[in-house]
Structure 1
Amino acid sequence: MKALIAATVLALGLPAFAQQQEAKPLAPGREALAIPYEKYTLPNGLEVILARDPKLPVVAVNVWYHVGAYNEQPGRTGFAHLFEHMMFQGSKHVPDDVHIAMLEQLGANDLNGTTNFDRTNYFETVPSNQLATALWLESDRMGFLLDALDEKKLRTQQEVVKNERRQGTETRPYGLAQEKLWKALFPAPHPYHGKVIGSMEDLDAATVGEVKDFFRKWYAPANATLAVVGDFDEQQARALIEKYFGTLPSGPKPEKPQVAPVKVTRETVIRHDEKVGTLPMVTMAWLTPSYLTEGDATADVLANALGTGKSSRLYKRLVQDKELAQSVSASQQSLGAQSVFTIEAVARPGVSSDALAKEIDAVLDEVRRDGIQPQELNRARSRFETQMLAGLQSVGGFGGKADTLQSYNHYEGDPGYLNEDLARYDAVTPDKVRDFAREYLKPDARVVLHAVPSQKSPISAAKETR
């Protein structure tokens, strides 16, 4: 339920090249969540999702490129995230560094771009009468970005990204420690190895030719989906999309890399000499089922029961009762290839990371033995439904209607995946949570990170034990 939408396909006349997708009826009691939408495909392969919502005179334009860090080659990491920056630096018909300013002058908000392991997206919400400009800007960087990409721009953005990595990983408390944990979960050459932002070495090594080749392969219309959601005239929107995107050339849709699942068959313990964080931290991580597959929703529920709110099991045990931790959390990071279930706790002054790990294991032993209580399950479901409704109040932005339609389409090829997604959570039981903990959260199938503030010289190297 990390991306939730409803779907009712509009019975509209489509051009000959369009592929209309039939929507499934919503489950009783959930009809109010419906987002009427239609999906069709241009001759160049660009998918288009249209969803009218006339409540406010605004429209969201949202483009997903089906490329992320997963699609990069070893030794050339960070390209997808690098393009998140390059796409705002100007294209053939748009001057350098004015893309954002042009949209803001038109009254745009919810304007951004994001990259993860599985995809890259760009989005903005504009007044309804500015839809044409937003579509033109998106089409120009899709079709004509390379006309404006040169050595100077690349080097400038490489330095920007490197500085972002310094701030977000290298000088951030526990940042380098968490990168170690992730690399241990996904050993090289797995495409999830490392950070989405890439490594300093790979960023430095990237050439203009390599970057352009990456763009040509992954940023063509055949590997992208455009969603337009909000207050717009359907006939006019179709005409504008055909005008600005329909003429862009496109090659075949690139093949997604086929990577064997990773298996962790023994406990790996990392002891990191922490230079930035001031208190010991322990993190435990397990590999779990991929997004929207069997077990993923169960992991969400368990993470909620363990680490969300003051009534959660880990908070009550580590923070309130034992007074060992100042913070604790649990999460299921759902990804397309494999997901990661994580528990993280930061110690109070004078408490060791080993003491935290011992208490976390005691809580996990209880769950493996008895599962969770029905009220914990119901509380988790209520939180997910609340988050869903909050997100669907907006046509654009992070987790808005356009983003949610795109997410279901990206992972399932079906923007109307609401019923199936809701059904996953409806099917979770306390016994299923118990069985999930026994199968996936085994002590011998995890990576455990102890990030402990260094008492050594600042030039001491961080050590790792296995």
Structure 2
Amino acid sequence: MKKTAFLAVLMTVLLFPACQQSADNEIASNDKEFKVDFEKFTLDNGLQVIFHIDRSDPVVAVALTAHVGSAREVENRTGFAHLFEHLLFLESENLGKGGLDKMSARIGGSGANGSTNRDRTNYFQTVPNDALEKMIWAEADKLGYFINTVTDPVLAKEKQVVKNEKRQGVDNRPYGHTSSVIHSNLYPKDHPYNWEVIGSLEDLQNATLKDVKDFFNSWYVPNNVTLTIAGDFDTEQARAWVKKYFDEIPRGPEISKMEKRPVSLTESKKLYYEDNFARLPQLTLTWPGVYQYHPDSYPLSVLVQYLSRGKQAPMYKKLVEEQQLSDNVNFFQYNSELAGQLMLRVTAFDGKSLDAVAAGIQEAMNEFEANGISQADLDRIKAGQETNFYNGLSSVLGKGFQLAQYEIFAGDPGFINQDVKNILEVTTEDVMRVYNTYLKDKHYIATSFVPQGQASLVLSGSSLAEVVEEKIVQGAEETFDPSLAAEYERTPSSFDRSVEPPYGPSPVIGTPEVWRSDMASGIRVMGIENNEVPLVQFEIQIDGGLLLEDQGKIGVSNMLAQMMTRGTASKTPAQLEQAIEALGASIGAYSTDYSLVISANCLSKNFPATVELVREILLEPRWDEKELELLRQSVISQLQRQQANPNAIASNEYAQLLFGEGHILANNNLGSLESVPNISMEDLKQYYTTFLSPSVSKLHIVGDVNQDDVMTAFEGIDANWTPKTVDIPAVPEMPAVTVSKVYFYDVPGAKQSVLNFGYPALKITDPDYYPAFVMNYRLGGGGFASQFTQQLREGKGYTYGIRSRFSGSNYGGSFTVSSGVRSNVTFESADLVKEIMSNYAEGLTESDLEITQGFMIKSSARSFETINSKLNMIRNISNYGFSDAYASERIAYVQGLTLDELQGLARTHIKPDQMIYLVVGDAATQFERLRELGYGEPILLNRP
């Protein structure tokens, strides 16, 4: 993706209903009817347009989806589709330099973003509905008035950004090369899925301007694009705007439909690689599968879930519980337009042979083959679909995505009706049939990725995989001048497209009404009734977490939280899991630095039953010794995996530097490799009986349930949870940083350096906290509107992404600049960050103030769109004492902000000479150069 990883929540098996306005397709739940109407039309140039109306919030999502992904590329010219995802944000003839990113900051958008996969590339953003015409104008400009702005310097810079993305997502992470090894061996060399979506560094470097323009002119044409608009807008007006801005973009060459290309294997292939970043062995088995929406994809989705997920899953029972080879089994489909695959991934415990893992997998399959799947288990798996179905209705952007998905890959957004029917019609016989067809005795690709020096753990008979590792060479990347303006002849138009359309009527922004109540036991309750969809989300937050732990037993609250969902006094772990799944609910527990939280998501019709299960989990723990041992191994495995991840290393080391030795919050709340093996059941029981009390608990709830029904449902918890006095200890102040120092953590061979620069800063309750948050927008909090991004990514090509942020709690806070940068520009990146911070206050202008105010004020229209955003609002009010109207109060503050005040905030809170400069990277090539920062001799944190 262009900026952030996007979770394709609606692209799996759980979809939402869509129907043309002439149809009467409805799905009922909880005695209420929900339907998503859509209107579809086609312009003369072939552009497909889909509208969906949702009046719940004054926002609109706009998505432009091109039917082109890496499958349309050719050998030696890979990565072009993804490269275009980047290029289309940079400039167009009428938006000018900065393109949609620059406009997004002004109009209060969610941040223009995009994603690329094998078969399509999309561009999307949610904006206040007064900016709809601006978005239609901008999207049309990208499609019809963009390619002339791409020059050799522009291409050179964006190559560096994409290469940095590959380093970050592939080359500098454990098991990052697994996917390329699988696909290059599963698919023939001439198959469009043989290469990775992101392409190779060599192909990207070799791309010429002519290559790029030819690719755009072939695929970015109206007859290969779908425009989706979803939200609160006038359809007649929007139709007129779409025709105005898109109609005269010429139709492109006719594009033939790609034929399905399923693959088969004549033999199994076993490959291995010693991974520089891996700390644990990992086995991945991949079988040829089916293309998207193939009839067999539905029973296959049931099969992979049944085999691998949950206490009753054959592979979980065999590999996790019985043989204790791993803590997790991940089996999933990866289906695309032309073909698909079934992927089974197991990360084993330290030192475990992958032969043993493979043998355990086969034993589990043999058991499934003998027993099959019961109707009860099939129904249990289907039950969860309804909840996720409605979760997909939570955002207008999600609806827009799915409408486009069906249009492009199924030929009709109304395919949802058949899709849902296919899901619900799966039988136990279907599940066994697809097992026999696609898994039983079938050839596969097996990849064993193991830590360096542990080749003895790989699957027997494996051959060394071909993996291209980039070498770190100082000064190896080409340079470019980002200031050069593109010179081109403007594309003619029937009207002046350089004039940005005006805003529409300002949206009416409402603040959700919060209700409050206190239970007799002391639980404080806050809720928002929201009946847009028949869902309820809630959490019981119990103050404490890491704060209440003993320094010698760090990790107790985390392990207690996870143990609480592993059975109850009257239900085995498997029975509890089945009871939750039968309701289509999800219940989880986790611990943070400040609290232990039990959270739930359910259909409103199953809310009372879900609360009853939460009551059991909270008040009737099982204390299962076998589960504790499994959990202990799992946490140790998580900690070992963190040791291999440069980003996790940076986070853990930065916390220790911020809080200082001996501070409770300097610890990783998972615990440590030293503490976790020594945590006993008695430790968990002592924490439970001493610190879990309604007197320090809050219930936060949002959804389709009223206050009276909430209080009634929680009577069982209120009446049976005995309050006790719990004192949260005082937390020492974080030590001030008086002079800057440079710290280095060596990860030999790292292709990127992870930077975490910062200092202890404001608590979230400090009067200056929100003002400082606003001030940081143009520094590093505003994405492409920020100076860090503009200079380090857009100006230099040093990084894929960089940000700065103020984060705070009731106990302390920090200011942090974080990024992953190309290894051979580690010093240059650090020095530029320092320079930007040093000049920030004096360089702020009235324009910076105007852009900051525009974004902060207009983005408020998106503040409470989803259930999650409403729940977050309650957390802020409940935990930090914010008023119910804090969102409106913040708007008023921003409206009255002056440039002098903004500069004053920057002078006070941006302190480049009083900061921690932490670098996690390759010391052999980068350590010595950091002396040039001027902060003395760097301190090596993991000195041998």
Tell whether the structures are fold-level matches, with TM greater than 0.5. yes
State how far apart, in whole Å, the 2-side matches of 1:248 and 1:289 are.
Answer: 37
State how far apart, in whole Å, the 2-side matches of 1:104 and 1:379 are.
Answer: 45
State how far apart, in whole Å, the 2-side matches of 1:228 and 1:80 are.
Answer: 23
1:9 pairs with 15, 20, 32, which one? 20
Matched residue SS, 2:266: coil
Letter in 1 for 2:402: T
Match of 1:334 in 2: 335
Match of 2:73 in 1: 72
Letter in 1 for 2:47: L
Shift of 1:380: 2.1
State how far apart, in whole Å, the 2-side matches of 1:245 and 1:302 are.
Answer: 45
Match of 2:419 in 1: 421
Match of 2:170 in 1: 169
Match of 2:382 in 1: 381
Shift of 1:373: 2.4
State how far apart, in whole Å, the 1-side matches of 2:278 and 2:441 are.
Answer: 26
1:264·1:445 contact (CA, 8 Å) conserved in 2? Answer: yes
2:25·2:35 contact (CA, 8 Å) conserved in 1? Answer: no
1:307·1:314 contact (CA, 8 Å) conserved in 2? Answer: yes
Match of 1:121 in 2: 122
Gapped regions of structure 1 (runs ≥ 5): 11-21
Matched residue SS, 1:422: helix
Match of 2:313 in 1: 312
Letter in 1 for 2:25: P
Letter in 2 for 1:25: N
State how far apart, in whole Å, the 2-side matches of 1:242 and 1:139 are.
Answer: 10
Gapped regions of structure 2 (runs ≥ 5): 1-11, 456-462, 467-944
State how far apart, in whole Å, the 2-side matches of 1:93 and 1:311 are.
Answer: 58
State how far apart, in whole Å, the 1-side matches of 2:387 and 2:308 are.
Answer: 17
TM-score by length of 2: 0.46
C-alpha RMSD of matched pairs (Å) = 2.1
Structure 1 window deviating more from structure 2 (244-253 vs 62-71): it is: 244-253
Pair 1:410 & 2:421 matched: no
Check 1:33–1:313 CA distance in 2 against 1; reply closer, same or farther (3 A cut): farther
State how far apart, in whole Å, the 1-side matches of 2:215 and 2:339 are.
Answer: 24
Matched residue SS, 1:109: coil
1:177·1:274 contact (CA, 8 Å) conserved in 2? Answer: no
Check 1:92–1:310 CA distance in 2 against 1; reply closer, same or farther (3 A cut): farther
Instruction: Tell me how many residue pairs correspond in the alignment.
Output: 447
Structure 1 window deviating more from structure 2 (31-40 vs 73-82): it is: 31-40
Shift of 1:96: 2.0
Shift of 1:322: 2.0
Q: Render the CA deviation track for 1:103-141: whole Å, top value 9, x for unaligned.
A: 132121264200000111111111111101111111111
State how far apart, in whole Å, the 1-side matches of 2:328 and 2:291 are.
Answer: 27
State how far apart, in whole Å, the 2-side matches of 1:74 and 1:442 are.
Answer: 33
Letter in 2 for 1:118: D
Shift of 1:270: 1.1
Pair 1:36 & 2:34 matched: no
Q: What are the within-5 Å matches in structure 2 for residues 200-211 of structure 1?
A: 200-211=201-212
State how far apart, in whole Å, the 2-side matches of 1:32 and 1:355 are.
Answer: 51
Structure 1 window deviating more from structure 2 (305-314 vs 83-92): it is: 305-314
Q: Render the CA deviation track for 1:289-321: whole Å, top value 9, x for unaligned.
A: 111111101111112212334553323322233
Matched residue SS, 1:64: strand
State how far apart, in whole Å, the 2-side matches of 1:232 and 1:143 are.
Answer: 24
Shift of 1:288: 1.1
Structure 1 window deviating more from structure 2 (106-115 vs 185-194): it is: 106-115
Shift of 1:31: 8.0
Q: What are the within-5 Å matches in structure 2 for residues 129-148 of structure 1?
A: 129-148=130-149
State how far apart, in whole Å, the 2-side matches of 1:68 and 1:244 are.
Answer: 25
Matched residue SS, 1:326: coil
Shift of 1:246: 1.2
State how far apart, in whole Å, the 2-side matches of 1:110 and 1:356 are.
Answer: 43
1:71·1:191 contact (CA, 8 Å) conserved in 2? Answer: yes
Matched residue SS, 1:325: coil
Structure 1 window deviating more from structure 2 (88-97 vs 367-376): it is: 367-376
Q: Render the CA deviation track for 1:157-197: whole Å, top value 9, x for unaligned.
A: 11111111112112221111332012111121110012100
Check 1:310–1:93 CA distance in 2 against 1; reply closer, same or farther (3 A cut): farther
Matched residue SS, 2:329: strand
Check 1:260–1:425 CA distance in 2 against 1; reply closer, same or farther (3 A cut): closer
Matched residue SS, 2:286: strand
Q: What are the within-5 Å matches in structure 2 for residues 77-156 of structure 1?
A: 77-109=78-110, 111-156=112-157
Match of 1:440 in 2: 438
1:26·1:419 contact (CA, 8 Å) conserved in 2? Answer: no
State how far apart, in whole Å, the 1-side matches of 2:257 and 2:181 are.
Answer: 26
State how far apart, in whole Å, the 1-side matches of 2:368 and 2:281 are.
Answer: 25
Structure 1 window deviating more from structure 2 (289-298 vs 377-386): it is: 377-386
Matched residue SS, 1:318: helix
1:369·1:434 contact (CA, 8 Å) conserved in 2? Answer: no
Q: Percent identity?
A: 36
1:69·1:77 contact (CA, 8 Å) conserved in 2? Answer: yes
Match of 2:356 in 1: 355
Pair 1:25 & 2:25 matched: yes
State how far apart, in whole Å, the 2-side matches of 1:70 and 1:32 are.
Answer: 40
1:5·1:417 contact (CA, 8 Å) conserved in 2? Answer: no
TM-score by length of 1: 0.91
State how far apart, in whole Å, the 2-side matches of 1:352 and 1:312 are.
Answer: 22
State how far apart, in whole Å, the 1-side matches of 2:189 and 2:172 are.
Answer: 24
Q: What are the within-5 Å matches in structure 2 for residues 206-355 of structure 1?
A: 206-258=207-259, 260-355=261-356
State how far apart, in whole Å, the 2-side matches of 1:405 and 1:31 are.
Answer: 22
